[in-house]
Structure 1
Amino acid sequence: MKNKKKLLGAAACTAAALVLTACGGGGSGPSQGAGEPVIDGTLTVAINEDPGNLLRHINSSATLSYVYPWAYEAPVYFDADGEAQGWLAESWEETPTSLQFTIRDDVLCDDGSSLTAETVANNYRWILDPENGSSFVGLVVPADAVVEHDDAARTVTLTTETPNSFLLPQLGIHPIYCQGALDDPDSVAAATNGTGLYRLVQAVQGDHYTFERKDDYAWGPEGGVDGSTPGVPKSVVVRIIENPSTRANLLLSGELNLTAVQGPDEDRVAASADPLIANSLVTGGFAYSQAEGRPTADEQVRIALTQALDLDALMRVQTADKGERASRLAVLPPQICQYDAATTNLPASDPEAAAATLDDLGWVMGPNGIRERDGEQLTLHFAWNTRWPETSATAELIAEQWAAVGVGVEQDGSEYGVFIERVRAENAASEIDVVWHAANYSVPNVLTSFVAGPVPPTGNNYAAISNPEFDALVGEASQYTGAEACATWEQAESEMYSSADYVPFAMRPEVTYSRGIEATLGGAWDTATSFILVQE
């Protein structure tokens, strides 16, 4: 039996929000504080919005990734070297079509019950049950998975018909809920029933969530903490503070211990606080609709439109000049696959070549400066969301650069919830030519559902992308496990980018800063219960 599996890259991220954004994961290691432990202190965290329903199985919100790890644990976590380590699972075995965990026998739930192999298995069964409407079918638990358990042997076994390169990071870091939560999901919408170091004792929606330490907690991973470790907080308070400047001010004044900071406040925070958790997120990208009848269904049109853009300039606007070009589909830790397929294969900026190609395709300049063909104007319906404040300016710059080669743009910007409803509507790809896409996860196969396969409402392929070469290479890559699959995944993504199906162009660092915290397991949100308070 394996109890470790070596993966490439940095530390782990919690199971990410999978729609069009994700959690902060990874880690830069412990903070540099060297003070004495604070006994029975309170650790205060600030997040920018309410997490909503606390049942992760139905809520893919990125914000929830900063809240549930205080109360819930997963079978494994990934350390700072990208190596899988046991947590609820003491050992495991993995093949491209199977994953088996052996579950510890000393783990207790909030309600006092013992965690069994059956309960772990029932978490995956709950996600697969179509009556529950989980958003993690196919994203975390493969849709064709068969789940079995053996309580006497303490094993949970998942088998699939379709090979999968990354079953361990997909399933292994997803949080496990206790049986009472699965039996009554409403009971954990604003409460907890998990195995973690803390239990939720107060939930004030839109304001704060207070967790209290379980002093009898004794089953943490090797090198972690237990309920009596000096410096382990007695309480954890997660506050909802929307304004980033307010979060920065409270961190610098000592009223917060932990918060993410971006934008104009970051420089002053970085001068006084420790970067406890750091990773990069893809924040800028879009896909061209390939629905029948849309002009962007033509590969040569997509290539020309991409050549018309200065992707480096778009990246600088989208990241407030703090980022870099996106390199691949999956950039979150644990980075099993590390390669640059995007910048080396996306069409290079060449507005003159773009104009010439559009001329050759019959899209000629009309009297109003917009290209036309057979009486149809080349005006693109561009749907994007305002989750990142820089996106509006980026969308305007895209429109300006397309206008320079005679392409019109009908802007369709909206807040995140409205945007998701819009692009997930039936036949949306037949009305939208360009859709914003900036999803994040640690393994590429999870993100494949956004660039291949069924369209909404049955799938996540918002732009109705179809690339047979990509699909074939994905199938080939799935025959391998872990890092062995990466070379073929790189080939698959290269096919997608060279065809300008999906154009990721911006990636920016997301840093969570801390005051008075040390991380015994290397600084990541899914191991947040290993954080201890120290005197500054």
Structure 2
Amino acid sequence: MKKTGAVAALATLSLLATACGGTSDGPSGKAAAGGTFSFALSADPGALDPAMGILGVTNTTLSLAYDTLVAYAPDGKLLPRLAEKWDVKPDSVTFTLRKDVTCSDGSKLTPSDVAENVRHIADPATQSPVYGVLVPAGMKAEADDAAGTVTLSTPQPFSFILESTTLMFVVCGKGLKDRSSIAHASSGSGPYTLTEAVPSDHYTFKLREDYVWGPGGAATKGSGMPEKVVLKVVPNEQTAANMLISGDLNGAIVYGADRKRLEATPGMGKTIASAGNGQFFYHQGDDRPAKDPAVRKALTQAINLPELAGIASSGTGRPATGLVGDPKPCQGDSVTGHVPAFDPAASAAALDAAGWKAGADGVRVKDGKRLSLRLLYITTKGAATQAANEYLAQSWKKAGVEVTLNGVIDTKLSESLNAAQDWDVVWLPIGVTLPTQLVGFLSGPAAPKGANFAHLSNQRYSELVAEAVTKPGEEGCKLWSQAESALFEASDLVPAVDTTMLIAKRNATFDMVAGTFVPTSIRMTEAG
């Protein structure tokens, strides 16, 4: 597994769990003739090989050209896609594929194609960041082309073996034989084909008019289906909002202050959806102050989390209830009652007891070393994220901590987390759809040898996870919840808020699930 890619995965998985289960208010207007649908990406998607691309914006892009075996509906239910039916066992799932699916080059999709995708991802030589995150570690695939089936299995029972396939994009046709050919092109069975890729500017897709195997049997024929989709790279939210209002965009995701004016714009459709957790991690390396659990707890007690939640979400967030976003495979609340409460006096007393005494300038010192924290965060998540990290810095400075803010763009975050490790606390949104997708980041070998970027070592979490992964249904969900609570009780990470976002729509309607398009739902509408 490519470790830097794995950390990049976590850093940007915040978009994987968006746009499901939200409230929607669609734009007015009748269906318009097919044309061009334009959508803003907050960053360049990078390499477009599904085995290598794990950024949230990458999956948004891939969802136009590639299919998965099954798909989530907007209400969280699983729908047939490439597979028309499936048989689930504790350690395997057998899919029966549709017989009418073709790749963009005209070749027929076979069970062997699906199996080859899994084998390629699992091959150590591939160094796929998807492996162990979106594709379970140890997964194997066996195809029976005559029967039209493919069986995916794991070495031991795996509680989410079916759900894990909802973000497993299937490459077919020429792309299977030459993976280098799809770094900036597409070779999939999806409803659109990538025809032009201009990195950091735009990506253009053309409609496949013969497509009839979308989620639940959806097709591309129908009034208002756009003939082209153009994904424009627009890193600045204010610019994206201006383009929406002027009609230069049909859709965009907005987190920050521009939400209000977009929602107030006549004719603007909107969906308010979960955008994943706003939370922070402590680096627990041997030379870091947060190695000491008493220090982690004291630092957490110095933060008024409800106040931080309001700042981080610009007042649009909801209380965090766990680490997994919508659509949730497990319900419940692993947060409430398990995070140290705001108590500045207790925080100060605990730091004193841990040997960190206030110096002449107010900064705490122990054995001649100042209590210093380097606070890392992504700058592309809007002004609220900036304000939240400034609030954290101010709160810790009041507690006698020297804090240095370090804002970086998405692509630099992976380097800081894994290679340079030049941080002590990181504000890192998470929006995964399965608790198993986090295990390698929250336990196991520490960076740079492993994906455990924060050097966490929570024995109770690891023990509960080892049991939970083998248990199906409600029994497994209870254990997953307890495992998350163990992290919070140890202040390994601190969930602050379940953030929301605005999916704005102008002269178009469309659905997004888990950060990806439902391409057959895209419809152009007449200007209102």
Same fold by TM-score, threshold 0.5 exceeded? yes
- One-letter code aligned to 2:316: K
Q: Pick the aligned partner of 1:104 from 90, 98, 107.
A: 98
| 3-state SS of 1:369 partner | coil
| 3-state SS of 1:396 partner | helix
Kindly report which structure 2 residues correspond to 1:19-58, keeping only aligned pairs within 5 A, or say none: 19-23=11-15, 24-28=18-22, 32-33=26-27, 35-58=29-52
Structure 2 equivalent of residue 13 of structure 1: none
| 3-state SS of 2:518 partner | helix
Stretch moving more, 144-153 or 493-502: 144-153
Structure 2 equivalent of residue 124 of structure 1: 118
Unaligned stretches of 5+ residues in structure 2? 1-7
| 3-state SS of 1:186 partner | helix
Q: Pick the aligned partner of 1:515 from 485, 506, 523.
A: 506
Q: Pick the aligned partner of 1:292 from 282, 286, 310.
A: 286
**C-alpha separation in 1, matches of 2:400 and 2:347:** 10
1:209 aligns with 2:203: yes
1:262 aligns with 2:255: yes
Q: Is the 8 A contact 1:32 1:518 kept in 2?
A: yes
Kindly report which structure 2 residues correspond to 1:280-429, keeping only aligned pairs within 5 A, or say none: 280-282=274-276, 284-331=278-325, 333-389=326-382, 390-425=384-419, 428=421
Structure 1 equivalent of residue 437 of structure 2: 446
1:279 aligns with 2:270: no
Structure 2 equivalent of residue 230 of structure 1: 223
Kindly report which structure 2 residues correspond to 1:517-532, keeping only aligned pairs within 5 A, or say none: 517-519=508-510, 525-532=516-523
Q: 1:467 to 1:461 in 2, by over 3 A?
A: same
**C-alpha separation in 2, matches of 1:31 and 1:251:** 16
- One-letter code aligned to 2:236: N
1:489 aligns with 2:462: no
Structure 1 equivalent of residue 471 of structure 2: 480
**C-alpha separation in 1, matches of 2:139 and 2:334:** 30
**C-alpha separation in 2, matches of 1:293 and 1:254:** 53
Q: Is the 8 A contact 1:30 1:522 kept in 2?
A: no
| 3-state SS of 1:222 partner | helix
Q: Is the 8 A contact 1:17 1:65 kept in 2?
A: no
| 3-state SS of 1:25 partner | coil
Displacement of 1:114 after TM fit? 0.4
Q: Is the 8 A contact 2:84 2:97 kept in 1?
A: yes
Q: Is the 8 A contact 2:136 2:164 kept in 1?
A: no
Q: Is the 8 A contact 2:327 2:514 kept in 1?
A: no
1:185 aligns with 2:179: yes
**C-alpha separation in 1, matches of 2:244 and 2:356:** 55
Q: 1:524 to 1:532 in 2, by over 3 A?
A: farther
1:66 aligns with 2:60: yes
**C-alpha separation in 2, matches of 1:170 and 1:339:** 20
User: Between the two proteins, what is the percent identity of the paired residues?
Assistant: 37
Q: Is the 8 A contact 1:29 1:522 kept in 2?
A: no
**C-alpha separation in 1, matches of 2:234 and 2:157:** 43
Displacement of 1:511 after TM fit? 1.9
**C-alpha separation in 1, matches of 2:449 and 2:140:** 21
Q: Is the 8 A contact 2:416 2:423 kept in 1?
A: no
Stretch moving more, 482-491 or 72-81: 482-491
For 1:316-343, what per-residue CA distance to the aligned partner results, in whole angstroms no more than 9, with x for missing partners?
Answer: 2222232234321111x22112322224
- One-letter code aligned to 1:363: W
**C-alpha separation in 1, matches of 2:112 and 2:229:** 30
Q: Is the 8 A contact 1:247 1:259 kept in 2?
A: yes
Displacement of 1:392 after TM fit? 3.5
Structure 1 equivalent of residue 192 of structure 2: 198
Q: Is the 8 A contact 1:261 1:512 kept in 2?
A: yes
Q: 1:522 to 1:512 in 2, by over 3 A?
A: same
Q: Is the 8 A contact 1:225 1:232 kept in 2?
A: no
- One-letter code aligned to 1:103: L
Displacement of 1:455 after TM fit? 1.5
Q: Pick the aligned partner of 2:459 from 468, 476, 482.
A: 468
Find runs of 4+ consecutive structure 1 residues off by over 6 angstroms. 520-524
| 3-state SS of 1:152 partner | coil
Q: RMSD across aligned C-alpha pairs, in angstroms?
A: 2.5
Stretch moving more, 484-493 or 241-250: 241-250
Unaligned stretches of 5+ residues in structure 1? 1-15
Q: Pick the aligned partner of 1:114 from 103, 108, 112.
A: 108
Q: Is the 8 A contact 1:27 1:276 kept in 2?
A: no
Q: 1:50 to 1:379 in 2, by over 3 A?
A: closer
Q: Is the 8 A contact 2:375 2:406 kept in 1?
A: yes
- One-letter code aligned to 2:248: E
| 3-state SS of 1:126 partner | helix
